[in-house]
Structure formats: C-alpha cells, structure tokens
C-alpha cells in the first residue's frame, strides 16, 4: 500500500506538473498573440484616422480633420503626409503661422516630395511672398516625373510676373508650352507676359490660341482682350469684351480697372 501510495503520489505529481507546464505554455502563447494583436490594432487605428482626416479635408470639415490628424501625429510625429495635411487644415482655418510650421516640417521630413513644395509655394504666393514661392518652385520644376510639372512652371512664371522679372516669367511659360502647348492656362500666361513686354503681335497670337481652347473667358482674359483690341484699334472687339466684362463680372477687380482705364481716356466708350 505504501509503495502504491508513493507511486500514486508520483504519478499525480507528474500530472500536476504537466498540467502546470501546459498552462504556462498557453499563457506565453496568449501573451505573444496579444502583443501582435495590439500592434495590429494600433496600425489599424492610425490608418483609419488618417483616412477619416482625408475625407474630412475633402468635405472642408477642418475641425474634424484636425482632431484625427492630431491623433495620427501623436503616433508618428514625422509622417510627411500627416504634417502636410495639418498644414492644409491650419491654412484653411486661418492659423497661418501653424500652417507654415507644418509645411516646413513636412518638407524637412520628405524634401523630395514635390507636391508638398508646390502646395507650400501656393501658400507663400497667397501671402504675397513671391520671391520665396519662386525659390520653392525652382526646386519643384527640377523633378522630371512630377505629374503637375506644367502647372509648376506656370506658377513659377506668375511669381516672376509679380516680381516684374519678365524674361524669367517668359522662360518659365515657354517651358510649360513646350511640354503642353495646347493648355489654355499656358497660352493665356504667354499672352499676358508678351503684352507686359510690349510684344503685342505675339501676345495677340497666343491670346487667339487661348480663345480657341477656352471660349468662356474669365474676367482677366476679357480685360487683356480689351487692351489688346485697343493696341490694334479694334473697336468692335473692345465693345464686345467690355460689355461681357460688365455683364458677367460687374464686381470684379478687372471691371474696376477697366472703368479707371476708360476714365483716363483710353479705349472706346462704356
């Protein structure tokens, strides 16, 4: 009996030890799996918040976008897409110092991402900081595969127009023309710069090409057309464009410029 009891105790002890070992192993496996699940959940929450922020930005819901982006930034402080999105949000909520800070941080995190520089240049242009915008765009246009390179050249030319550096503006617009010669914005830009340079025949040629691509003219296009008509003493075109400018854009800056132009004794009658 004593021997059997000992054997029974030994067997029981082995069973208990085996059970404990199995429980411990299961506990280890569960802890490990829990760690992986936690990381997956964090990544899913990150991706979801970033996507929700993008959706809110597209809707113009800046406060909701900001809330999700701030969560994303806490998880990854140097994600260039997050930083750029926050810059866009702050720009549209009037927090311009914060917007600039985030644009610069995004560029520092990903200096070769041309989209961010292009957006930052637009931000600078809107603030009247044309020389800084041009510096950013000079970098952007060097990226041969950037999908908006034509637009970047046009924007660069417009910066130089504001700075009254007309030869540089012409060069930028011509580069855009070589890449996409049928683009209405490119044609209009060349017409504008040649008018400013006093090369009216070339301005008229590009303006006519622009009109063939864009029959519905903007206020700025009508205003340029009026002044070109006067250079070639075309009273009928002047009258037609002036009437269109008055009827379509009566509160535009261009119409105010036109009225001042007439009052100073230029062109035909109102």
- Which DSSP string corresponds to 61-104? -HHHHHHHHHHHHHH-TT-HHHHHHHHHHHHHTT-HHHHHHHHH
pLDDT of residue 145: 94
Pick 66 or 28 by higher pLDDT. 66
* Region of poorest pLDDT, from 32-36, 104-108, 189-193: 32-36
pLDDT of residue 24: 35
Cα-to-chain-centroid distance, residue 154: 15
* Region of poorest pLDDT, from 21-25, 204-208, 211-215, 226-230: 21-25
Q: Tell me the two tokens of residue 24.
A: 């411990």
pTM exceeds 0.85, yes or no = no
Pick 192 or 72 by higher pLDDT. 192
Confidence of residue 66 (pLDDT cuts 50, 70, 90): confident
Helices 235-248 and 219-231: crossing angle, nearest 10°?
Answer: 160
Q: Is 146 helix (H, G, I), strand (E, B) or coil?
A: coil
Per the CB < 8 A criterion, the answer to whether 205 and 227 are in contact is no
> Residue 11 and residue 18: Cα distance in Å, rounded?
10
Residue 12, pLDDT above cutoff 50:
no
pLDDT, the chain, mean: 86
Q: 35 burial class (0-12, 13-18, 19+ CB within 10 angstroms)?
A: exposed
pLDDT of residue 21: 41
Confidence of residue 67 (pLDDT cuts 50, 70, 90): confident
Q: 239 burial class (0-12, 13-18, 19+ CB within 10 angstroms)?
A: middle
DSSP 267: S
DSSP 252: S
Condensed to tens digits (0 to 9), the pLDDT of residues 112-127 reads 999 999 999 999 999 9
Per the CB < 8 A criterion, the answer to whether 96 and 105 are in contact is no
Average pLDDT over residues 5-11: 47
Average pLDDT over residues 219-243: 97
pLDDT of residue 45: 77
> Residue 113 and residue 140: Cα distance in Å, rounded?
9
pLDDT of residue 215: 82
Condensed to tens digits (0 to 9), the pLDDT of residues 22-50 reads 333 344 444 444 555 566 677 787 788 88
Q: How many CA atoms lie within 13 A of 187 on its CB side?
A: 18
How many residues in the chain? 270
> Residue 225 and residue 242: Cα distance in Å, rounded?
9
Highest mean pLDDT among 12-21, 56-65, 201-210: 201-210
Residues 6 or more apart in contact with residue 63 via CB below 8 angstroms: 93
DSSP 44: H
């Amino acid at each position: 009996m004593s021997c059997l009891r000992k054997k029974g105790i030994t067997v029981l002890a082995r069973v208990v030890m085996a059970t404990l070992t199995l429980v411990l192993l299961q506990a280890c496996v569960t802890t490990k799996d829990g760690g992986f699940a936690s990381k997956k959940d964090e990544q899913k929450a990150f991706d979801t918040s970033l996507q929700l922020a993008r959706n809110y930005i597209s809707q113009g819901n800046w406060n909701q976008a900001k809330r999700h982006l701030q969560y994303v930034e806490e998880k990854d402080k140097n994600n260039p897409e997050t930083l750029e999105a926050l810059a866009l949000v702050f720009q549209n909520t009037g927090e311009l110092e914060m917007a600039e800070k985030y644009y610069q941080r995004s560029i520092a995190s990903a200096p070769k991402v041309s989209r961010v520089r292009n957006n930052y240049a637009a931000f600078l242009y809107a603030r009247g900081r044309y020389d800084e915008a041009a510096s950013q765009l000079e970098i952007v246009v060097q990226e041969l595969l950037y999908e908006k390179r034509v637009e970047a050249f046009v924007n660069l030319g417009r910066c130089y127009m504001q700075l009254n550096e007309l030869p540089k503006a012409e060069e930028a617009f011509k580069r855009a023309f070589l890449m996409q010669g049928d683009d209405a914005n490119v044609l209009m830009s060349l017409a504008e710069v040649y008018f400013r340079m006093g090369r009216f025949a070339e301005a008229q040629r590009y303006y006519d090409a622009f009109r063939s691509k864009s029959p519905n003219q903007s206020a700025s296009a009508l205003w340029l057309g009026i002044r070109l008509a006067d250079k070639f003493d075309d009273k009928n075109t002047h009258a037609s464009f002036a009437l269109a400018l008055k009827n379509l854009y009566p509160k535009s800056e261009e119409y105010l410029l036109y009225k001042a132009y007439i009052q100073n004794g230029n062109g035909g009658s109102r």
